Structure 1
Amino acid sequence: MTDSSPLDDNAFSHIMADPALAGSACSLAVACSGGPDSMALAFLLSRWCRDNGRRLTALVVDHRLRQESAREAETVGARLAALGVRVAILVREGPKLTRDLQNQARLARYGLMLSWCREQGAGDLFLGHHLDDQAETFLLRLARGSGVDGLSAMSPIEMRGGIRLVRPLLDIPKTRLVATLEQAGQAFVQDPSNLSDHFTRNRLRRLMPTLAEEGMDARRLADTAKHLSRARQSLEFYTSQHLNRSGRLYPHGFVRLERATFLEAPEEIRLRSLSKLVSALGGADYPPRFDRLQRLMKRLEADADGAGTLSGCQLLVRGGRIWLAREPSAVSGPVPLEGVGSFIWDRRFRIMLSATKKWPKETDFFIGALGIDGWRQWQNSGREISGFSILPAFVRRGIPALWRGDKLVCPLSTQKSDHWQDHGIEEIHLIAGELFGKTAFSSLNMRTM
Structure 2
Amino acid sequence: MPVGDLASPDPDAHLLELAAHSFPDAARIGVMVSGGGDSMALLHLVHRAGELRGWLVEAITIDHGLRTEAAAEAAMVAQVCAGLGIAHQTSVWQRQDNTGNLMNRARQARYRLATDWAQARGLSHVAVGHTADDQAETFLIGLARQAGIDGLSGMRGSWEQGGVTFARPLLSVPRADLRAYLVRQAITWVDDPSNDNAHYTRVKARNALAVLAGLGITATTLATVSDNLESARLALLRQFADAARMVTQTEAGSLGVPRGEFLRLPTEMQRRLLIAALQWISGVSYPPREAGLRAVQRALAVQKDATLGGVRFRVKGDAIWVLREARAVDALEAPTTQPWDNRWHLTGPHAADLTIRALGAEGLRACKDWRATGHARDALLVSPAIWQGQTLIAAPLAGFPNDWCAICSPSFGSFVLSH
TM-score, normalised relative to structure 1 = 0.75
Q: How does 1:10-409 map to 2 (within 5 A)?
A: 11-17=18-24, 31-44=32-45, 58-64=60-66, 66-76=67-77, 79=80, 83-95=86-98, 104-116=101-113, 122=119, 126-158=127-159, 166-182=167-183, 185-208=186-209, 211-250=212-251, 252-302=252-302, 304=303, 306-331=304-329, 333-337=332-336, 343-351=338-346, 363-379=352-368, 382=369, 386-388=373-375, 391-393=376-378, 395-409=379-393
Report deviation, 1:411: 2.1
For the 8 Å contact 2:142–2:152, the answer to whether it is kept is yes
- The residue type paired with residue 133 of structure 2 is D
**Preserved CA contact (<8 Å) 1:31 1:126:** yes
Q: Letter of the 2:104 partner, please give it.
A: L
Q: Is the 8 A contact 2:115 2:161 kept in 1?
A: no
Contact kept, 8 Å, 1:282 with 1:311, in 2: the verdict is yes
Q: Is contact 2:36-2:189 (8 Å) kept?
A: yes
Q: Is the 8 A contact 1:77 1:89 kept in 2?
A: no
Structure 1 unmatched runs, 5+: 98-103, 441-449
- AA partner of residue 276 (structure 1): A
Cα deviation, residue 295, structure 1: 0.8
Partner residue in 1 for 2:6:
none
Deviations 1:77-123 (A, max 9, x none): 555566312331214342489xxxxxx34212123235446766848
CA–CA separation in structure 2 for the residues paired with 1:159 and 1:259? 33
Distance 1:365 1:27 in 2: 37
The one-letter amino acid of 1:58's match is I
Measure how far apart 1:127 and its partner are: 3.2
The Cα of 1:14 is off from its aligned counterpart by 0.8
Shift of 1:368: 3.3
Shift of residue 299 of structure 1?
A: 0.6
Decide whether the 8 Å contact of 2:30 with 2:58 is kept in 1.
yes
Give the Cα separation in 2 of the matches to 1:174 and 1:111: 24
**One-letter code aligned to 1:109:** A
For residue 278 of structure 1, give the secondary structure of its aligned residue in structure 2: helix
Deviation at 1:228, TM superposition (A): 1.6
Distance (whole Å) between structure 2 residues aligned to residue 216 and residue 335 of structure 1? 50
In the superposition, relative to structure 1, how do residues 92 and 328 fare at CA in structure 2: closer, same or farther (>3 Å)? same
Code of the residue aligned with 1:348 in structure 2: it is R
Bigger drift between 254-263 and 30-39 goes to 30-39
Distance 1:403 1:59, change over 3 A: farther
Q: Alpha-carbon deviation of 1:223?
A: 1.3
**C-alpha separation between the residues in 2 aligned to 1:171 and 1:243?**
33
CA deviation after TM superposition for structure 1 residue 60, in Å: 0.8
- Give the Cα separation in 2 of the matches to 1:434 and 1:63: 38
Deviation, structure 1 residue 237 = 2.2
* Residue identity in the other structure for 1:398: V
Cα distance in 1 for partners of 2:129, 2:373 equals: 49
Q: Which has the higher contact order (CA 8 A, sep 6+)?
A: 1
- Per-residue displacement from partner, 1:304-330 (whole Å, max 9, x unpaired)? 2x3221112112111111111222333
Offset, 1:383? 6.8
Change (3 A) 1:396 1:59: farther
Please give the secondary structure, in 2, of the residue aligned with 1:107.
Answer: helix
> Alignment partner of 1:345: what SS?
coil
Give the secondary structure class of the aligned counterpart of 2:402: helix
Deviations 1:176-233 (A, max 9, x none): 4335545665432101122234444334434545544533222222111122222222
- Give the number of equivalent residue pairs: 402
Q: Residues 316 and 28 of structure 1: is their aligned pair in 2 closer, same or farther, counting only changes over 3 Å?
A: farther
Residues 330, 56 of structure 1: alpha-carbon distance in 2 compared, 3 angstrom cutoff = farther
